[in-house]
């Protein structure tokens, strides 16, 4: 990359800079290089969240494929949240960050065809045209075209200085041309580029993955992965305890004491448990009632009693996994005065896939009823709760979200979750001032200024009381002692890789 310094990625968001333009896969601790062994046993993994969209890469199912190292995009995030090479080995920007050129490495799809610039451009075009759009593309009009065999030009219309971060989102993974079917669906079986390929899908209960021997970054050390989708947290913990699985996602805090200490692994993440209030219909269209709900809630009790110390009271939308927020956070602005609930009835929905959430909802019910609300609780599946909140069917919802999961860029998640045209706007929030501040943050390319602008936007969002952050959650993964090389980090995007084995 021999371009003037001012044209290179100057660095964007999170604590580090976007220096992935020069990084190699050898800098990534999840990489095993090319020395993978063909020996070893198959890994057995219990996942908490079953596929709900037939493994479509354009929704939450994309993260299943990412966590199992099936799919890849042009970039990925390292342990510091920096964009580093994946299918693209380098990139440069021009036209004031409105157009980027990505140079591809030599790689092969799992169906044996070559990864070409034309195939990559087609994959990104399909993602950009998906309905609804992937959350990573909120507010972005992305187009892609091939330039020769190994260069792809990606345009965003307006400046998008965090595009390399955005392209790390699993919803923007690249599949072979045959994956894209005429009805708009994407078939991931044998069409991705990762070290493991999906060879069998058993509804929403199980999947079989085999090692892909043509993987560009070396042979995986495990011959395959057998996946079970187990929604019940106690059952996942029991499966790990009895040796039925080797890795178990999202161990409930109530089960931690019953597991061998050597199998429990915790880490700070950007995950929050929050109460989202429906600002478009129902009682919480009244800012005063939203303020009353916020004032009624005690977050310390939730952290100490429900999460048993595996969480801390929330200080905002972005938790301790992003240390730069501590010195930049701005007090919420524009809050309304609380009004008396006077027995107003509200319905709060949540899901049990993360078993702490119904307990959190019960604590909230007690707090809110003491304040004068009448509260009805509804527990459904996670996909139902999210889709119903997006449709405005409940007054509030208790959900758990890794705020940096989508792009690694805090501004992008504010755009998708809290702006008028956001694609994951559970609160149905539409405030001109919030949209203005988020747009101002999106226009910043300097790291420090973008962070400052993100905190101003956060303050305005919190000032609406459309969302009440409750706790910053530690993620707990169960890993059998026989397993080596399992992956677990703040972004919760990957659990197995080429070096994972038992």
pLDDT at 258: 94
Is residue 109 in some structural domain?
no
Predicted confidence band at 39 (pLDDT cuts at 50, 70, 90)? low
Q: What are the Cα distances from residue 453, in Å, to 15, 98, 325, 335, 407?
A: 15, 20, 11, 19, 17
Taking Cα atoms as reference points, which of 276, 323, 244 lies closest to residue 417?
276
- Give yes or no for residue 10 having a pLDDT over 70: no
Q: With bands split at pLDDT 50, 70 and 90, how would you rate the model's confidence at 400?
A: very high
Query: Does the residue 79 lie in any domain?
Result: no
Residue-wise pLDDT for 129-175, tens only, equals 998 889 889 888 999 999 999 999 999 988 899 999 999 999 999 99
Residues contacting residue 191 through CB under 8 Å, at least 6 positions apart: 109, 110, 111, 175, 176, 178, 179
- The phi, psi pair for 338, rounded to 5°, reads -70, 140
Does 450 map to a domain? yes
**What are the backbone dihedrals phi and psi of residue 375, each rounded to the nearest 5 degrees, phi first?**
-120, 130
The more confident residue out of 443 and 455 is: 455
Dihedral sign for Cα atoms in the order 444, 446, 449, 452: positive
pLDDT for 308 beyond 90: yes
Residue 461 has pLDDT above 50, yes or no: yes
Q: Is the pLDDT of residue 241 over 50?
A: yes
**Is residue 114 assigned to a domain?**
no
Confidence check: pLDDT of 9 > 60: no
Q: How many separate domains does the chain show?
A: 1
Length of the chain as a residue count = 502
Q: What is the distance in angstroms between the CA of the first residue and the CA of the last residue of the chain? A: 40
75 and 86 Cβ atoms separated by less than 8 Å: yes
Over residues 300-319, mean pLDDT:
94
pLDDT of 60-88, one tens digit each? 899 999 999 999 999 998 877 789 999 99
The predicted model gives 445-458 an average pLDDT of 92
Q: What distance in Å separates the CA atoms of residue 83 and residue 75, rounded to the nearest whole number?
A: 6
Give me the chain's average pLDDT, please.
Answer: 90
Residue 294, domain member (yes or no): yes
Residue 376 forms part of a structural domain: yes
Here the tokens at position 211 are: 């090692």
- Whole domain around residue 330: which residue ranges? 270-474
Does 187 map to a domain? Answer: no
| CATH classification at residue 445 | 3.10.105.10
What percent of the chain has pLDDT above 70?
92
In a domain, 160, yes or no: no
Top-confidence range, 52-61, 338-347, 485-494: 338-347
Look at residue 491 in the predicted model and tell me its pLDDT. Answer: 84
Q: Is there a contact between 458 and 274 (Cβ–Cβ < 8 Å)?
A: no
Position 251 scores a pLDDT of 95
- pLDDT tens per residue across span 176-226: 999 999 888 999 999 999 999 999 999 999 999 999 999 999 999 999 999
> Is the model's pLDDT at 265 over the cut of 60?
yes
């Amino acid at each position: 990359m021999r371009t003037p310094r001012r044209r290179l990625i100057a660095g964007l968001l999170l604590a580090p800079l976007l220096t992935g333009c020069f990084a190699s896969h050898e800098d990534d601790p999840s990489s095993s290089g090319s020395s993978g062994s063909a020996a070893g046993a198959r890994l057995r993994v219990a996942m908490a969240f079953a596929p709900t969209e037939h493994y479509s890469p354009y929704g939450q199912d994309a993260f299943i494929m990412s966590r199992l190292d099936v799919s890849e995009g042009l970039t990925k995030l390292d342990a510091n949240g920096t964009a580093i090479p994946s299918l693209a080995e380098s990139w440069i920007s021009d036209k004031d960050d409105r157009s980027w050129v990505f140079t591809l490495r030599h790689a092969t799809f799992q169906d044996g065809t070559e990864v070409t610039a034309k195939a990559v451009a087609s994959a990104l075009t399909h993602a950009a045209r998906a309905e609804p759009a992937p959350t990573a593309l909120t507010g972005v009009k992305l187009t892609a075209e091939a330039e020769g065999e190994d260069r792809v030009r990606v345009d965003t219309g307006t400046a998008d200085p965090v595009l390399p971060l955005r392209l790390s989102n699993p919803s923007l993974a690249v599949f072979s041309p045959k994956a894209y079917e005429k009805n708009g669906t994407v078939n991931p079986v044998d069409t991705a580029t990762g070290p493991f390929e999906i060879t069998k899908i058993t509804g929403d209960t199980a999947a079989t993955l085999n090692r892909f021997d043509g993987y560009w970054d070396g042979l995986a050390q495990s011959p395959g992965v057998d996946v079970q989708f187990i929604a019940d947290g106690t059952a996942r913990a029991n499966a790990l305890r009895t040796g039925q699985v080797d890795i178990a996602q999202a161990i409930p805090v109530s089960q931690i004491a019953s597991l061998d200490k050597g199998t429990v692994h915790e880490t700070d993440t950007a995950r929050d448990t929050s109460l989202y209030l429906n600002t478009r219909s129902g009682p919480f269209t009244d800012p005063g009632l939203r303020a009353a709900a916020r004032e009624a809630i005690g977050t310390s009790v939730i952290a100490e009693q429900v999460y048993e110390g595996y969480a801390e009271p929330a200080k905002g939308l972005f938790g301790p996994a992003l240390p730069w927020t501590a010195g930049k956070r701005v007090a919420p602005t524009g809050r309304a005065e609380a009004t008396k609930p006077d027995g107003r009835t509200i319905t709060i929905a949540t899901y049990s896939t993360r078993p702490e959430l119904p307990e959190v909802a019960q604590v909230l019910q007690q707090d809110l009823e003491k304040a004068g609300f009448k509260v009805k609780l509804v527990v459904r599946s996670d996909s139902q709760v999210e889709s119903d909140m997006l449709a405005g069917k409940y007054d509030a919802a208790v959900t758990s979200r890794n705020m940096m999961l989508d792009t690694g860029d805090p501004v992008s998640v504010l755009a998708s979750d809290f702006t008028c045209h956001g694609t994951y706007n559970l609160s149905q929030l539409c405030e001109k001032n919030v949209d203005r501040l988020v747009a101002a943050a999106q226009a910043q390319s300097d790291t420090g200024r973008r962070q400052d602008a993100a905190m101003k936007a956060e303050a305005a969002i919190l000032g609406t009381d459309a969302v009440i952050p409750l706790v910053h959650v530690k993620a707990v993964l169960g890993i059998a002692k026989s397993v080596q090389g399992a992956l677990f980090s703040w972004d919760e995007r990957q659990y197995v890789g080429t070096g994972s084995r038992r």
